Amino acid sequence: MVDAAQREEPTSELLTTNTDRYKWVVLSNTTLGMLMATIDISIMLIALPDIFRGIHINPLSPANSFYLLWMILGFMVVTSVLVVSFGRLGDMFGRVRMYNLGFVVYTFFSLLLTITWMSGTAAALWLVIMRLFQGVGAALLIANSTAILTDAFPENQRGMALGINQIAGISGSFIGLVLGGVLAPIQWRLIFLVSVPIGLFGTVWAYKMLKEIPRKVDRSIDWPGNITFALGLIAILVAVTYGIQPNGGHSMGWLSPLVLVSFALGVVLLTIFCRVEVRSPDPMFRLSLFRIRAFTAGSFSSFLASLGRGGLMFMLVIWLQGIWLPLHGYDFARTPLWAGIAMLPLTAGFLIAGPLSGFLSDRYGSRPFATGGMLVAAASFGLLEVLPVDFSYWGFGALLLLNGLAMGAFAAPNRAGVMNSLPSQHRGVGSGMNSTFQNSGQVLSIGVFFTLMILGLSRGLPAALLHGLSNEGVPLSAARSAANLPPVSTLFASFLGDNPIRHLLGSHVLAELSPAARHAVLGRKFFPSIILAPFRTGLHLACDSAVAFCLLAAGCSWLRGGKYVYHEVERPSRTTDNASSNTV
C-alpha cells in the first residue's frame, strides 16, 4: 500500500497489487454488509404484527398511522437521501473508512432497537427514530461497498463480483421476509438482535482486512448541494408516504395540503439543487457524469426497474396474506411467515441469474443481459395478470422464478456497466448516485402501486362488502360503515396478519352478532371471497404499470451502447470528457 500522505491518484498497478486473496476478502465482506442491510428492509414488514403486539399498540388506529408508515418506509427514505453524500465522503476521506463506520453505526442502532424497554406510543416512536439511524449505517454500507469492489477487481471480473454483491442486496429483501416470519413469533426483538453478532463480526473483519487505497481528491464539502438535495428528496418522499394514507373523507391523501405542499417544496428545492450543482466548483452530485452515456442509461434504467419492482413485494404479500393463504386454510395470524416462504422462488431466481449474468457481462457487455432481463420481467408481470387470483401455486411459483431470473439478469450487469463507466476518483459518488435512483424508485413504486391498487379496490370493494356483510346478518348500519372505510385500512389489516373483517367491524359489532353470523364473517374464506374481484381490478392496474416501467427500462438500457470501460487519461481534469463514443 502507498503511504496515505502521498495522496496520489491510484494507478492500475496499485489497484491490482492485492490480487486473488484480497479481492475475495473484499467480495465476502461487502456482500455480508449488503445482505445485512437489505435483510432489515423487509424483515420489519413480516414482523410488524408481532412488534405492535409486543409494544401494545394498534397500528390500524388512525392516531397510530404515523408509526405504521414510518416503520415501513423510514429506513428506505433515509438510505435514499444519504447514499450520494456518503459516497462523496468516501471519495474524499476513504471508502473503506466510511464503509467500516457504516458497520459500527448499523450494529450500534440494531442493539438499541433490541433493548426497547418502553411500551405504547413511546416505544413506537423510539423504534421509528432508532430505525432511521439504522438507515444511516445502511447508507454508509451501500454507498461505499460497490466502489470498494470496483477498486479491488479488474475490469474483466467486475461484472461477476458486482453481480454477487448486487444480488445479495436484492435477495436479502426477500430472505428478510422468511427470517422475520420465523423469528418474530418467538420474540419480536430477535429481528433486530440477529443483526448484532453479524454486525460485530463484519466490523472486526472489515477493520482488520480491508485496505484503503489513497487518492488525491479535493476535500471541500458542498454544503448547499447536500442540504438542498436532502431536504428536497425528503419532501418528495414524505409526500409519497402520506399520499397513500386516507385523509378526511378521501380514500387517499394525494390532494391534502400536507402532500401538495411537501411535493411542491421538494420540486422547488431539487430545482435549486440543480442550479447549485452547476455552479459549485466541487459538487456533491456530479452532473458532469451524466455526459457518460453508459452511466446515464444505467442509472435511469435502475430507477425505472425499481419503479416496476419496488411495489411488487407489497402486492404479492397482500395477495398471499389477504386472499390465497386464507382460502387454502391458513389462519390470518400465520400468513406472514407462509407468505415469505411462498415467495422463495423469486429469491431463487435472483440467486441463479445474478452471478451468472454478471459473469457473462464481463465478456459480452451489459446491454444484452440488462435489456433482455427487463423485457422478460415485463412479460412476467403481464402473465401475472392472466393468473387467476385463486391460483395454482405451481403456476404462481413458476412466474415468481421467471421474474426473479429476469430481475437478476438485469441488476448485476447493469450495476457493472454503471461502475465500469466511472472514473476511479468518482466511483463513490457515482455509486451513491446510482443507489439514490434505485432506492428512490423503490419508495416511489410503493406509492404508485398502492395508489393503483386502492383505485381498483375503490371501484368494487364497498359494494361487495356491504352486500356480503348484510347477507350474513350484520346490521345494515354497521355493514354500511365498514364498507365506507378507506380501502387502505383493509389492505394494511391483511398485510399485518390480522383478519380485516375484525378490524372493519370492531369488537362491539362482532359481540352483538349471533354465533353463526360471527363465525361466518370471521371465517377464513369470507374476506377473500369478498375482495377477490375488486383485488383483481387493482392488480391489473398495478401490473400494467409494472409492464410499462420495465419496457421503458429496457429501452433506456439499450441506449447505453456496447461494452464500455472507462480508462484513466493523463489529465485527470478532463476525466469525464474521455468517454469517446460513449458520451451523450
Give the Cα separation of 326 and 530 in Å (integer): 12
Query: Which pLDDT value is given to residue 243?
Result: 82
Q: Judge if 210 and 230 occupy the same domain.
A: no
Domain end among 501, 516, 532: 532
Contact yes or no for 261/238 (Cβ under 8 A): no
Q: Judge if 23 and 134 occupy the same domain.
A: yes
CB count within 10 Å of CB 581 equals: 8
Q: Judge if 421 and 356 occupy the same domain.
A: yes
Most confident among 79-93, 169-183, 509-523 (mean pLDDT): 509-523
Q: Judge if 233 and 344 occupy the same domain.
A: no
Q: Judge if 446 and 499 occupy the same domain.
A: no
Give the Cα separation of 298 and 558 in Å (integer): 9
Q: Does residue 121 belong to any structural domain of this protein?
A: yes
Q: What is the pLDDT of residues 256-287, one digit of tens each?
A: 888 899 999 999 998 998 888 888 777 777 77
When pLDDT is averaged across residues 412-438 and rounded to a whole number, the result is 82
Q: Judge if 185 and 231 occupy the same domain.
A: no
- For residue 242 the three cell numbers come to 402520506
User: Residue 490 sits in which domain range?
Assistant: 459-532
Q: What is the pLDDT of residues 346-381, one digit of tens each?
A: 888 888 888 888 888 888 888 999 999 999 999 999
Can you give the CATH number for the domain in which 382 is found?
A: 1.20.1250.20
| H-state helical runs in 472-525 | 476-483, 487-495, 500-505, 507-512, 515-521
Q: Judge if 348 and 217 occupy the same domain.
A: yes
Q: Judge if 527 and 539 occupy the same domain.
A: no
Per-residue confidence band for 337, with pLDDT thresholds at 50, 70 and 90: confident
Query: Which pLDDT value is given to residue 568?
Result: 59
Q: How many domains in the chain?
A: 3
Q: Does residue 581 belong to any structural domain of this protein?
A: no
Q: Which residue has the higher pLDDT, 227 or 333?
A: 227
Q: Does residue 584 belong to any structural domain of this protein?
A: no
Question: Given a cut of 50, is residue 238 above it in pLDDT?
Answer: yes
Question: Given a cut of 60, is residue 223 above it in pLDDT?
Answer: yes
Query: Which pLDDT value is given to residue 218?
Result: 59
Domain end among 232, 257, 283: 283
Q: Does residue 125 belong to any structural domain of this protein?
A: yes
Query: Which pLDDT value is given to residue 177?
Result: 74
Q: Judge if 100 and 187 occupy the same domain.
A: yes
Give the Cα separation of 303 and 267 in Å (integer): 18
Q: Does residue 236 belong to any structural domain of this protein?
A: yes
Residue listed under C-alpha cell 447549485: 276
Query: Which pLDDT value is given to residue 570?
Result: 42
Q: Which residue has the higher pLDDT, 428 or 572?
A: 428
Query: Which pLDDT value is given to residue 553?
Result: 95
Q: Judge if 464 and 440 occupy the same domain.
A: no
Counting residues of the chain whose pLDDT is more than 90, the rounded percentage is 19
Query: Which pLDDT value is given to residue 150?
Result: 82
Q: Judge if 372 and 518 occupy the same domain.
A: no
Q: Judge if 505 and 489 occupy the same domain.
A: yes
Distances (CA, A) of 184 to 51, 110, 200, 442, 561: 8, 15, 22, 25, 47
Query: Which pLDDT value is given to residue 19?
Result: 59
Domain end among 238, 267, 283: 283
Of 359, 365, 324, 360, nearest to 341 by C-alpha is 324
Question: Given a cut of 80, is residue 179 above it in pLDDT?
Answer: yes
Q: Does residue 402 belong to any structural domain of this protein?
A: yes
Phi, psi of 490 (to 5 degrees): -65, -45
Give the Cα separation of 254 and 512 in Å (integer): 37
Contact yes or no for 252/451 (Cβ under 8 A): yes
- What angle in degrees, to the nearest 10, is found between the helix axes of 526-558 and 427-471? 150
Angle at CA of residue 73, ends 70 and 77, nearest 5°: 110
Q: Does residue 335 belong to any structural domain of this protein?
A: yes
Q: Which residue has the higher pLDDT, 192 or 570?
A: 192
Angle at CA of residue 155, ends 431 and 170, nearest 5°: 45
Query: For the whole prediction, is pTM greater than 0.85?
Result: no
Question: Given a cut of 80, is residue 50 above it in pLDDT?
Answer: yes
Average pLDDT in the chain? 82
133: part of which helix (H) or strand (E)? helix 120-152
Out of 114-123, 286-295, 333-342, least confident range: 333-342
Query: Which pLDDT value is given to residue 573?
Result: 42
When pLDDT is averaged across residues 103-111 and rounded to a whole number, the result is 94
Q: What is the pLDDT of residues 453-507, one digit of tens each?
A: 888 888 888 888 888 888 888 888 888 888 887 777 777 776 666 778 887 888 8
Contact yes or no for 419/146 (Cβ under 8 A): yes
Give the Cα separation of 136 and 183 in Å (integer): 24
Q: Does residue 582 belong to any structural domain of this protein?
A: no
Per-residue confidence band for 556, with pLDDT thresholds at 50, 70 and 90: very high
Query: Which pLDDT value is given to residue 215?
Result: 65
